[in-house]
Amino acid sequence: MRRTDVLLCTRREANSRDSETVQLAQRAGLIRQFGSGLYAFTPSGERVRQHVIRIVTTELNRIGGQAVDLPQLQYRPIWEQSGRWGNFEDEMFTFENRDGQQMCLAPSHEEGIVHLVDGIVRSYEDLPVLLYQVGKKHRDDHPRNGLLRTKEFTMKDAYSLHASDESLDTWYERVRSAYVRIFDRLGIEFVVADADNSVMGGANSEEFIALADSGTVDVRWCTGDECLFGSTDESKEQDIAAFDSCPDCGAQLTAGEGIEIGHVFKLGTRYSDSIGLHVDTADETTTAVRMGSYGIGIDRLIHTLIEQHADESGCRWPASETARIAPFEVSIIPLDYEGDLKDTADELHRTLDSGSVLLFDDATQTIGERFAESDLLGIPQKVVLGNHFRETNEVEIETRDGETRFVDVGSVTERLRT
């Protein structure tokens, strides 16, 4: 794509009252605020968001998850059945429609999932199933720190349904492992803490906490290699302190701030009991359907990626084959966009571009501005056409981390991933 054709929303200044991470997201032009607790994603931000969503859904598909899409607008009765109408920590947006019926914007979809399968799932043979969706959620929460707590946000929520406790245990572990793979692929530093179930109900749950200074959760975590032990104020072992030994591996604990990026719940029969979702068993009785519920906050993941990877020049994104997150994979940066450099830059752009290459073709930008903007966006690779190219016909490929190599202009395609 050509820079002169795309809507880049990069800018020099951001609101200094925001955290460094939110300021960077705004300077890189990924998000735009629409008022307290409301953000839009720009074209560059939406590219990042879709890349993150793709990784999350790929891992859920791998373990047998099936995508669904439930209405965000819901009527009051299914929330009355579960006992959560007016009881969702006062965070549910409720209103009356033109016919005088009470409705809400769903803050979560446990009720919706039960409603979706009610009358369809009848026998233990129909289970287990794992259903997921990626969509907007609405909660009238107190906004905090940019994308970390907003009134509208994107969530991947998944629900598993089972005829036995053993099946729920197996699938809970399966989803938990998929979460570990997702966060590992994204290169996120995180821990897992057991947690109070609060508004969701059910037997037990665990939170995935990314370590980040701008986080809003106090967390103690293990410094041991490969150990994911974490503990928050909601954990059962609340009195565990920094510098205690890790109960899992014995290494030393430390303390700081974190961001809740995922949460897995064993809900048991909390919802199927109250709404009446039962299935026939093998011995001709019936049993209440067991449920698990599993969430990942997509916007919080983006905030975390920016915070954990950025440097003083701007965003950096994990750049492995299994995690392509950056808004563009390659930038083509000519020293001047004219003459032979322009011709070669255009030719490279024609050969390389499949939608993930950004050609800096704006003649009004200085070379310094081109470099700075490419780094601000966190584009992993630059193809630089300058004096060295004029002398040798070799272009310089520079990574976002400053590693450079020279390759013949004819072999750029093989040497880049786009």
| Minimum separation from the CB atom of position 210 to Zn ion (A) | 17
Among 39, 159, 208, 229, binds Zn ion (CB under 5 A): 229
Cis amide leading into 128 (omega within 30): yes
Residue 237 touching Zn ion (CB under 5 A): no
CA distance 126 to 280: 10
Among 56, 178, 222, 261, binds Zn ion (CB under 5 A): 222
| Minimum separation from the CB atom of position 263 to Zn ion (A) | 21
Q: With respect to Zn ion, which residue has the nearer C-beta, 108 or 231?
A: 231
Q: With respect to Zn ion, which residue has the nearer C-beta, 222 or 261?
A: 222
Contacts with Zn ion: how many residues (CB under 5 A)?
8
Closest CA to 31 of 14, 148, 49, 39: 39
Q: List residues bridging with 191 in a β-sheet.
A: 209
Q: With respect to Zn ion, which residue has the nearer C-beta, 229 or 360?
A: 229
Percent of the chain as helix, strand, coil, to the nearest 5: 30, 30, 40
Q: With respect to Zn ion, which residue has the nearer C-beta, 180 or 251?
A: 251
Q: For tokens 């994979």, name the residue.
A: 329
385: helix, strand or coil? strand
Among 83, 135, 143, 224, binds Zn ion (CB under 5 A): 224
332: helix, strand or coil? strand
Q: With respect to Zn ion, which residue has the nearer C-beta, 207 or 299?
A: 207
Q: With respect to Zn ion, which residue has the nearer C-beta, 89 or 248?
A: 248
Closest CA to 111 of 322, 293, 304: 293
Which residues in the 239-278 window bind Zn ion by CB under 5 A?
246, 248-249, 251
| Minimum separation from the CB atom of position 244 to Zn ion (A) | 11
Alpha helices in 108-164 (DSSP H): 110-117
Q: With respect to Zn ion, which residue has the nearer C-beta, 225 or 312?
A: 225
DSSP letter at 117 equals: H
| Minimum separation from the CB atom of position 205 to Zn ion (A) | 20
The region of 35-43, 164-172, 216-224, 395-403 touching Zn ion under the rule CB under 5 A is: 216-224
**262 exposed, middle or buried (CB, 10 Å; 0-12, 13-18, 19+)?**
buried
Amino acid at 208: F
Q: With respect to Zn ion, which residue has the nearer C-beta, 63 or 180?
A: 180
39: helix, strand or coil? strand
CA distance 205 to 4: 49
> How far from 367 is each of 54, 254, 270, 360, 388, CA to CA, in Å?
34, 44, 61, 9, 15
Among 227, 242, 255, 335, binds Zn ion (CB under 5 A): 227
Query: Are residues 191 and 122 in contact, defined by beta-carbon separation less than 8 angstroms?
Result: no
| Minimum separation from the CB atom of position 194 to Zn ion (A) | 14
The region of 223-231, 304-312, 313-321, 403-411 touching Zn ion under the rule CB under 5 A is: 223-231
Amino acid at 162: H
| Minimum separation from the CB atom of position 289 to Zn ion (A) | 35
Query: Which stretches of the chain bind Zn ion, using CB under 5 A?
Result: 222, 224, 227, 229, 246, 248-249, 251
